[in-house]
Structures are given as structure tokens and as C-alpha cells.
Amino acid sequence: MPKFLLFPQSTVFHQIRDQPIRAMKCLGIKIILAAAVLAAMNPASAQQVLRVGLQGAEPGVVRSNNEIGGLQIEILDAIAKNTGFKVTLTITENTRRSFGLMDEGKLDVVAGTTVTAENQANYSFTVGYGTTAEALVVPKTDKKQYLTIADAKALTIVTLRGSPYARYLKQNGIINYKEVETTTDALMAVSTGQADASLFSGVISGYVIKQGLFPNLQIVNSYRPALARPYAMAFPKNTGEILNRANASIQKLIDEGTIRQIFAKYGITID
């Protein structure tokens, strides 16, 4: 069963670090602060652990009181159960940070990421499970029927720093766009009038808006996404047997319908 490491860079860490507890439960799993775990790990035990990074955005990671769960955590938990992996999870503020930690040798895998042409050149990916595409989010007062990103050229659009969405905006001649670190930052910018629209994962933005956290925002239903990509786990190149075991586990979960059931639990239908 995985244990969860909360690094200082993590938004989750900042939310819990002042609480008078050192561990929380998640799917029957202990969540342990990073400093305590890293101090206890020795080289022999570290070789038996798969160190996983995951962006701390809903619905992938969902906080409730003193518990942390979520779509991507449930998928990771299922993979750990049927592979026997011992997993530690670092929850980061964005996927870019997770990849940075893996590049530094501090992680073995990035979970809940998506496959792009750019990162395929540098990393090895598991088989895909479910898909996500970009969504355009605007205030409810904006009634325009945007069909493509070209229709939104007059808007100031906020997206995630260093993401495929940022590259897409630049490539399509969107001059007025801003980059922020987290999905919450992006939605907050639109909600407070600092930007006209946001563009990033429709799975994330759709889930957050359905929870009523930004009641003045809406997803533009007329918008036709152009960046549909599968979710997958990313490993360094030439990972070998660990990648093969992860692939076999994910395919088994797909074939059994487990992946579909987990997505459906969070209101997401996948093909």
C-alpha cells in the first residue's frame, strides 16, 4: 500500500503542516510528512520503493477534512495492490514540478500525466487510461459561443506555466495570455476578473466547477477542444521491467472495468 510524502513544495503540505497531527488516513494508507520518512529511509529500503509524483489538483487529488483521496490516487492504489509495488507519493503543485523532481532523480514516475509529442521524446509512458482535453472557462456573464481558440483571440487567457496549453496558445497567435502555477490560480484569475478566460484540462476544470467552488464561472460547451490526450504514467527512458509491470497492471484494470468505475465515481465517462 502506498505511503504519501508531502513535500514543502506541495500545496497539500501547506494546508496541513500547522495541524497537530503527523499522519492521516487515505484509503487505509498513512500520509506521512516527507521529513520524517526521508530521515528513516536507508539505501536498501529505498530500492524497494517506487517514488511517484502527482499533481495535487482535483479530481486527481481530493481533500476532505483530514483525508486525501481522489481519482488518480485510487488508480495508483489499485495499481499498487495488483503489482505489489511499495509506493511513496509526492503531491506537487503542478505536473511540471513532478517532472522536474523526476529529472533530478528524486522520483521514479509521474502519475496522472498526459502524453504529448514533446514529452514522448524524453520519457517512456504506460498504456493510456482515459482521456482529457482542454476546456475554455469564462464568466457566466460571457454569452459568446466560442467554437475554436481563434474565436477567443481578443480575450486575456490564463493557463498553466510551461504546459501544452501554453504552447498551444502561443502557436495559435494568442498574444494576451498569462501563465500561472496551479489550476486554482487559473480559475481564481478568471473569477476575480484578472483574466477573461482559462484554458487547461477539462477534467479538472469541469470537476471543480461542478463542486460549486467558482459559482460565477462556466465551461464553454460550444468550444471544440483540439488537445485530447490520454492519461498515463511517465517513467525515465529505459526503465524496463517496472514499466512492463505497470503496463500489465493498467491493462488489467482497464479490462476488468476498474478504471471506468473509478472515473465514473468522479462523474467522468470514458470510452
Contacts for 168-176 with beta carbons within 8 Å, 24 or more apart? 168/134, 168/199, 168/226, 168/227, 169/199, 174/149
C-alpha–C-alpha distance, residues 188 and 39, integer Å: 37
- Mean pLDDT rounded to a whole number for the chain: 82
Return the pLDDT at 271.
66
- The pLDDT tens digits for 247-263 are 999 999 999 999 999 99
- The pLDDT tens digits for 71-88 are 999 999 999 888 888 888
Return the pLDDT at 44.
36
In the predicted structure, residue 70 carries a pLDDT above the cut 70 = yes
Return the pLDDT at 24.
35
State the pTM of this model.
Answer: 0.74
- The pLDDT tens digits for 91-130 are 998 899 999 999 999 999 999 999 888 889 999 999 999 8
In the predicted structure, residue 195 carries a pLDDT above the cut 70 = yes
To 10 degrees, the CA torsion angle through 24, 26, 32, 34? Answer: -130
